[in-house]
Structure 1
Amino acid sequence: MSALVGIVRSPGQAQERAETTLLRGVRALRGVRYGTELAVGNVNLAVLEDDHGICPARVKKHDRRSSANGRVDVSLGNEERGEALRAILFSTGEEVALERQLLARRPFYFARRQDGALVFSDRVDAVLAMLDRSPGLSPAGLAFFLTQYGVPAPWTVVEGIWKIGPGRRLALRAGGDFRISDNVTGAALPHVRAGKLTPDEVRDLVRKALSERADLADGAGILLSGGLDSTIVLAQLKDLDLPPERSYILRYTDPLFDRYDWDARYAWLVAWKFGLDIENVAIDPGVRVRVLLNRLLGQANEPVADPAMIPLYLAAKAAAQQEIRVLWDGRGADELFAAPHTNANLDPWYWWFLAPAPVRQVAGRLFTTVFGKPGSRKKAKWLAEDLPTSVFWQESVFGPQELEKLGPLPLEPVLEYFEGLRRRGRENHPGGLAQRTEWETWLAEQNQPLAETVARMTGVQFHSPFLDEHIVLRAMGVPFRERVPRGPNKRILRDAFRNDVPREVLRRRKRGLGTPVGWWVQEMQEQVRYDVKLLRATFGDDLLRWNEVERFLTDVRTEPVIRWQLLSLVSWLRLHLVESRSASPRAILRSETVLSPARKESL
């Protein structure tokens, strides 16, 4: 995919130095080539093209006769579908505006250099290469990643590097100032207001989204999981006379992992009923996980906590070998129409969160005193805390004790973010607040960037009608209980497409994509110990206790999802913050003591 790299010089910075900095950022990117160079006043911008030709950049110049302030617009992605990044260079040359539309698959990253210049790019490697200091770890970013899977904007796991959230606009000025605003030319995630969403309306919206993307249907395939979402997409494509050429089904070759093939059996059934050619994507449990993980995380802008990244990459690679350039899937349906697990625990107590805080705290103490069991103490915490805090602990991957063992990570920014999310969305239902959290942390910052990374590596794009801008705005704008009514999970989708989906799929309980995470992590124990030792020597134990990180990773009793999350984090940090720098990792490991800040600065 195309990329943008830019710098806003400080008033006293020379043009030659800015161009050198920009070139350093361009050289850090792989798989791209020079397209266009733009220089307006204090702003220098390089537009790069990739070899696959996916998502080409569009440069549009406005002169003063056709625009109030003559400017240059550079966009990546489809603006009509709300998936674009835009950079606007104004004729004054003192400012550049960066915009991220609601469904853009990657954000803009930016940082301030020590010389006062601001550097930016949609690829974090370019920003890291343009920095004039050694990057460190962000306490708030690590707290977000370890509790919520993803890091919402404006934070990242790298200290001093920020990003723009979905539907946000950033203004960078030559003096080194920047300002983030919520209003952009595109849409932003709406707040909840009164309204009703019917199954017939959902059906019409999905069909309209597929019809508007008819240009993608020629030579397309579909990734079938055997679940409700991908089956709905296939049924509507067939009904609209836009059938995919073949279906891709993930399956494991070793009988030891038959339980992960449960999805494949339903997927075969769906493909047979709709008359599709079946392409089995065989996943060997002994696959070279270390090589694939390094390859994927080396291209990723941030750590990826989803172990499905490896099966998705293998499916896209198989499609690319058969000259398939688009794979349909059902991403986004869960974040819009499925009840989060948080809802099951907190929904019965919804009315309780409307009570004053002192009343909740007293009731929580009484509850603990009367029952006095460990489980009751956890439930008392739900009763005593406010809604954002309760939803945070329900959504958190690590519990309070595990987080305390890992290190002194600050939770205040995370709790403030939850409160701000509730206030901006006017969402007072625990399930609705959990859904918005999953949208901004998981879908926008993990799932969508993962699809973009796989597309950049294979040339195959993933598309889902549930990520259409009209569906997202309509669904997220109604109260939680209107789009997620009580009853079977995704009830509104089951009612809307009851006559299109096989009964076996309608009756099936929801299951995620099965991956043998424990097996994979166990196969990488030698790599894990090397990574942890390297990161301890580079960053020290002030923020994360690396011995505890290693214990979580090597202990087979640790939950697989936690082990994979930590594995992704340490691997990404090694690839982007240690091995990509000028210092040799072996030289770092030869040091018996933690590197001093001065030594780090020289790396």
Structure 2
Amino acid sequence: MSRWCAFLGEGDPDVHVRAVGGRPAPGSHGVGLLDGPGTATGPYTVGALTAIGEVTLFNGDLLRARLGADAPDGRCDDAELLLHCYATLGLGGIALADGMFALAITDGDELVLVRDHVGARTLFYARARGTWAASTSLRALRAWPDLDTALNLSAVQSFLTFAYLPGAETFLRDVHEALPGRCVRLHQDGSILEETYWEPREIEDRRSAHDHVDRLRELLEAATMRRLPEDEPVGVLLSGGIDSSLVTALASKLHDNPVRSYSIAFDGTTPNELAYSGLVAAHCHTNHRVLTVPGEAVAERLATTVSLLDCPVGDPLTVPNLMLAEAAAADGVRTILNGEGGDPVFGGPKNLPMVIFELFRSDPDPEARARAYLDSYRKCYDDLPVLLTADALADLESAPPLTEVLMPYLQQGRMTSLLNQLLHTNLRTKGAHHILTKVERLTAASGVEGRAPLFDREVIDHAFRVPPNLKLAGTSEKWILKESVRDLLPDTIVDRPKSGMRVPVQQWLTGPLRDLGHDLLLGQSARARGLFREDTVRRWMRGEGTLLPRQGGKLWLVLTLELWLRSFRIGP
């Protein structure tokens, strides 16, 4: 199990490089496997092309049929098959692929980087001393001796606003992330060409609601079927909400082997959804397991879990998610499905407030919608002036506005309806840079592969053909998704409003994480970094300030960020 790194520099293209822990030879081209969790394979050669990658394909048979006589030997793995698709069909071959992949291809004086349609696998790149380097691991690039980089302060501002980084920027200055659905061509002269091979499109489809429901059901079954492992059990992360419940029901219907479902519970008095997840497990006849996560376990494992991520996420479920993946691995499960994708693809709970904002909007500024979207996150956007130090705020005066990453999606263009613009934004920001990447890193660290049927490319394409009023029907969210699986689940599950998992963050921060939070956020290292105002942090730790109704969530962001920066040894 490895990740990979690739280099491209000026000079002899036949000189291969050592792993990123060493220095590539001057003018070298090459790829190398690295230690660490992942599924990297290669290198492979087709003609003048050499490639390495982390590739899982769900439609290999279709790709082989399309390649015909140019198809490789049937024993080749998915990365080699994807390289053949590129060599024979160009980016059209990449667009045909359905899967999770990050691929680097050396092609003459180009290093070609390809990331899958929705962003299930990550891909980073940087340039130093006339050489390009790329890897699925940000930590691997950080270890490259030639790369002299420091903290990207603009990313701090973005993270505190979104609870993740929503675009191409990383916390390392001059290190970038390839966007999903893109091909990035890195040239020896230092120039970059980015090409889009897939982007969802809004298409008017006048079929009846019944026909749309039936078609969506077909696509959901096909997407789930493609992601089921052959001749072995499959796991499902089951929260009890509609998204994870429908994936559980489809897996139980379609899989010929045991289906194991996993749910989280927390100690204490926090409301939970165990009654609903238990109802679904019984209804679908899964082998169900509930994992109780005490606050002490979160405190003990938080630093290690955060260090597994290429970007911290302000999601307090990271440690529980890792523990669930470990529990599945201990049960002999190697593939685990999840219900991620229902909200960003079909219209989850954050869209209704934005629709209401638009109905009563009085500000004609084109960026007003983007600012309202930032406000809807309810993170630290409004707190930045009192949270960041004066020096940090001064340094950020020249940073791009936080609305910049949202504007391509939240204006008339590719999408005409407001709801589709919001869904497009959610898919390309939170979906690609938070949900999918978190799942991939935490499952891979446990030797398990996480797969998300609701993020299937064909399911997404159909979602943008469905009229908006069938996704958000009045105040009924994800209406068409619910109708497509109504026969598979109890009405209690289908019709109940989304509540979300209640995570006892405040109890953790005032209990088992209290001392750790105090030592980290008020300690010498944090003070030396000079990002946060100590008086604000102290007030938040005492439960003071205008933090309600999510008092602990904002402090959780700051703590997670500090842990991640320490793990990567990143200073100012």
Aligned-partner Cα distance in 2 for 1:40–1:208: 48
Give the corresponding residue for 1:2. Answer: 2
1:392 to 2:374 alignment: yes
What is the Cα deviation at residue 461 of structure 1? Answer: 2.0
1:519 to 2:482 alignment: no
Contact 1:39/1:45 (CA < 8 Å) preserved in 2?
no
User: Once superposed, what is the RMSD of the aligned Cα atoms?
Assistant: 3.2
* CA gap 1:401/1:124 in 2 versus in 1, 3 angstroms: closer
Aligned-partner Cα distance in 2 for 1:401–1:328: 37
What is the Cα deviation at residue 485 of structure 1? Answer: 2.7
What is the Cα deviation at residue 429 of structure 1? Answer: 4.4
What is the Cα deviation at residue 84 of structure 1? Answer: 1.0
Give the corresponding residue for 1:495. Answer: 483
* CA gap 1:537/1:351 in 2 versus in 1, 3 angstroms: closer
Give percent identity, aligned residues only. 22
Aligned-partner Cα distance in 2 for 1:284–1:392: 32
Gaps of 5+ in 1: 26-37, 64-69, 354-358, 362-382, 579-594
1:290 to 2:299 alignment: yes
Give matches, 1:121-520, under 5 Å.
121-132=135-146, 135-183=149-197, 188-195=198-205, 198-216=212-230, 218-242=232-256, 244-252=258-266, 254=267, 256-257=268-269, 259-260=270-271, 262-287=272-297, 289-341=298-350, 343-348=351-356, 350=358, 360=363, 386-395=368-377, 397-407=379-389, 408=393, 409=396, 412-423=400-411, 426-476=414-464, 478=466, 480-520=468-508
Contact 1:391/1:433 (CA < 8 Å) preserved in 2?
no
Contact 2:4/2:32 (CA < 8 Å) preserved in 1?
yes
String of CA shifts for 1:256-303, please: whole Å, max 9, x gaps: 32x33x31111112222232332221222332x233111111221111
* CA gap 1:10/1:546 in 2 versus in 1, 3 angstroms: farther
Counterpart residue identity of residue 293, structure 1: L
Aligned-partner Cα distance in 1 for 2:445–2:372: 39
* CA gap 1:406/1:61 in 2 versus in 1, 3 angstroms: same
Give the corresponding residue for 1:89. Answer: 106
String of CA shifts for 1:146-170, please: whole Å, max 9, x gaps: 1122212311122221111111121
String of CA shifts for 1:70-117, please: whole Å, max 9, x gaps: 211323122432311111111x3x22111111134232212222x232
Aligned-partner Cα distance in 1 for 2:139–2:539: 28
* CA gap 1:132/1:73 in 2 versus in 1, 3 angstroms: closer
Q: Please give the secondary structure, in 2, of the residue aligned with 1:418.
A: coil
* CA gap 1:225/1:174 in 2 versus in 1, 3 angstroms: same
Give the corresponding residue for 1:371. Answer: none
Q: TM-score, normalised by structure 2?
A: 0.81
* CA gap 1:458/1:47 in 2 versus in 1, 3 angstroms: same
Contact 1:3/1:49 (CA < 8 Å) preserved in 2?
yes
* CA gap 1:139/1:388 in 2 versus in 1, 3 angstroms: same
Counterpart residue identity of residue 304, structure 1: V
Give the corresponding residue for 1:43. Answer: 29
Give the corresponding residue for 2:541. Answer: 554
* CA gap 1:89/1:14 in 2 versus in 1, 3 angstroms: closer
1:564 to 2:572 alignment: no
1:74 to 2:52 alignment: yes
Give the corresponding residue for 2:131. Answer: 117
Give the corresponding residue for 1:105. Answer: 120
Give the corresponding residue for 1:378. Answer: none
* CA gap 1:58/1:156 in 2 versus in 1, 3 angstroms: same
Contact 2:237/2:261 (CA < 8 Å) preserved in 1?
yes
Q: Please give the secondary structure, in 1, of the residue aligned with 2:477.
A: coil
Contact 1:58/1:76 (CA < 8 Å) preserved in 2?
no
Give matches, 1:573-588, under 5 Å.
573-578=565-570
Give the corresponding residue for 1:24. Answer: 22
Aligned-partner Cα distance in 2 for 1:82–1:500: 26
* CA gap 1:227/1:77 in 2 versus in 1, 3 angstroms: same
What is the Cα deviation at residue 45 of structure 1? Answer: 1.5
Contact 1:246/1:278 (CA < 8 Å) preserved in 2?
yes
Q: Please give the secondary structure, in 2, of the residue aligned with 1:273.
A: helix
* CA gap 1:300/1:424 in 2 versus in 1, 3 angstroms: farther
Aligned-partner Cα distance in 2 for 1:155–1:548: 29
Aligned-partner Cα distance in 2 for 1:241–1:147: 41
Gaps of 5+ in 2: 58-96
* CA gap 1:46/1:552 in 2 versus in 1, 3 angstroms: farther
Aligned-partner Cα distance in 2 for 1:170–1:335: 25
What is the Cα deviation at residue 430 of structure 1? Answer: 4.4
What is the Cα deviation at residue 507 of structure 1? Answer: 3.1
Contact 1:189/1:476 (CA < 8 Å) preserved in 2?
no
Counterpart residue identity of residue 465, structure 1: P
Aligned-partner Cα distance in 2 for 1:224–1:238: 13
Give the corresponding residue for 2:46. Answer: 62
Q: Please give the secondary structure, in 2, of the residue aligned with 1:47.
A: strand
Aligned-partner Cα distance in 1 for 2:503–2:477: 22
String of CA shifts for 1:485-534, please: whole Å, max 9, x gaps: 32422211222122211122123221222221112223323333443334
Q: Please give the secondary structure, in 1, of the residue aligned with 2:405.
A: helix
String of CA shifts for 1:411-463, please: whole Å, max 9, x gaps: 74322222122358633544433333332232211121211222222112222
- Mean alpha-carbon deviation: is it higher for 241-250 or for 558-567? 241-250
What is the Cα deviation at residue 140 of structure 1? Answer: 2.4
Contact 1:406/1:548 (CA < 8 Å) preserved in 2?
no
What is the Cα deviation at residue 402 of structure 1? Answer: 4.2
String of CA shifts for 1:199-230, please: whole Å, max 9, x gaps: 21211110111222343572112222111112
Q: Please give the secondary structure, in 2, of the residue aligned with 1:420.
A: coil
Counterpart residue identity of residue 31, structure 2: L
Contact 1:152/1:165 (CA < 8 Å) preserved in 2?
no
* CA gap 1:271/1:56 in 2 versus in 1, 3 angstroms: same
Aligned-partner Cα distance in 2 for 1:406–1:535: 16
Counterpart residue identity of residue 284, structure 2: F
Contact 2:11/2:26 (CA < 8 Å) preserved in 1?
no
What is the Cα deviation at residue 399 of structure 1? Answer: 4.1
Contact 1:42/1:174 (CA < 8 Å) preserved in 2?
no
* CA gap 1:245/1:212 in 2 versus in 1, 3 angstroms: closer
String of CA shifts for 1:235-266, please: whole Å, max 9, x gaps: 222333546433222223x3x32x33x31111
Aligned-partner Cα distance in 2 for 1:573–1:50: 20
User: Which protein shows a greater Rg?
Assistant: 1
* CA gap 1:486/1:265 in 2 versus in 1, 3 angstroms: same
